[in-house]
Amino acid sequence: MDIAIRFRDLTLGYDRHPAVHHLDGEVESGALLAVCGPNGAGKSTLLKGIAGTLAPLAGSIALPRLKSRDIAYLPQAADIDKSFPINVFDVVAMGLWKRCGPFGGISRSETAKIRAAIAAVGLEGFEARAIATLSGGQLQRMLFARLLVQDAAVILLDEPFTAIDSKTVADLISVVSAWHEEQRTVLAVLHDLDLVREHFPQTLLLAREEIAKGKTDAVLTRENLLKARSMIEAFDRQAQACARAA
């Protein structure tokens, strides 16, 4: 079995306070893994670490046989500037950056790919629309289309369905399932446990440290969830330097 991501005693955090503490483990290639846990459990932080935007405080994250262009990351609150005069097509086309760079033109086949991606998320006909006119759900669809175009081996989604209407959620979940069928590795931070139980075969329950990881039904038990919830949410201001595992 190929390993897509390997954590070795990973600690990630801000200003020396750990948000993810001593995480150890692996994610196989092609896994469809939900990352769950209470607020402040370090889920977004973990994704940022994998995406490479946050450097570990200790330990390591390895992505064997993968280059940075093989990872696509959808952050939690897209800080996309909606008032910028740009249309849906051009935003989705940004997904080709890794291939075209700052100057490369977009070939005919790539244009077709972009249009296909836009159609796949149910935004056909919206190509020329200014993004300022999009609703929350439409914006999220557009960002998913961009992910499609990025054609990455590893896809990281941070709370992709928060405040999105159920029809959009349903449509986008089928995109995720399609990714799974294409053997892409997908990690998604999610709060809706019903959604997780229904569509995600694997789950990592995180409460700063790993509570459980494996098949979703085995992980999302009442015991485990209680354990996770009892975790301290706030950073401990009196915390000493961590003495565990160097």
Partner 1 sequence: MHDLLIAPFAEFAFMRRALAGSIALAIAGPPLGVFLILRRMALTGDAMAHAILPGAALGYLAAGLSLGPMTLGGLAAGLIVAVGSGVVARTTVLREDASLAAFYLISLALGVTIVSLRGSNIDLLHVLFGSVLALDDATLILLAMIASLTLAALAALYRPLVLETVDASFLASVSKSGGPVQIIFLALVVLNLVGGFHALGTLLAVGMMMLPAASARLITEDMTAMIGLAAAQGILAGYAGLIVSFHAGLPSGPLIILMAGLLYLLALVFGPAGGLLRRLKPGRHLEA
Q: Do residues 209 and 22 touch, judged by C-beta distance below 8 A?
A: yes
Give SS3 for 139.
Answer: helix
Give the Cα separation of 47 and 134 in Å (integer). Answer: 27
Taking residues 41 to 80 in sequence order and writing x for each that binds partner 1 by CB under 8 A, - otherwise, the string is ----------xxx---------------x-x-x-x--xxx
Pick between residue 112 and residue 130 the one whose CB is nearest to partner 1.
Answer: 130
Residue 53 C-beta: closest distance to partner 1, Å? 7
Residue 177 burial (C-beta neighbours within 10 Å; 0-12, 13-18, 19+): middle
Q: Does 218 interact with partner 1 (rule: CB under 8 A)? A: no
Can you tell me which of 54, 91, 142, 189 binds partner 1, judged by CB under 8 A? Answer: 91
Q: Smallest distance, Å, CB 69 to partner 1? A: 7
Of these, 84, 167, 170, 183, which contacts partner 1 (CB under 8 A)?
84
Report the residue from 103, 194, 230, 243 that binds partner 1 according to the rule CB under 8 A: 103
Going by C-alpha positions, the residue among 76, 90, 28, 26 that lies closest to residue 48 is 76
Euclidean distance between CA atoms 243 and 176, whole angstroms: 40
Alpha carbons 62 and 70: distance in angstroms, whole number: 13
> Which residues contact partner 1 (rule: CB under 8 A)?
51-53, 69, 71, 73, 75, 78-81, 84-86, 91, 94, 97-98, 101-103, 130, 146, 150
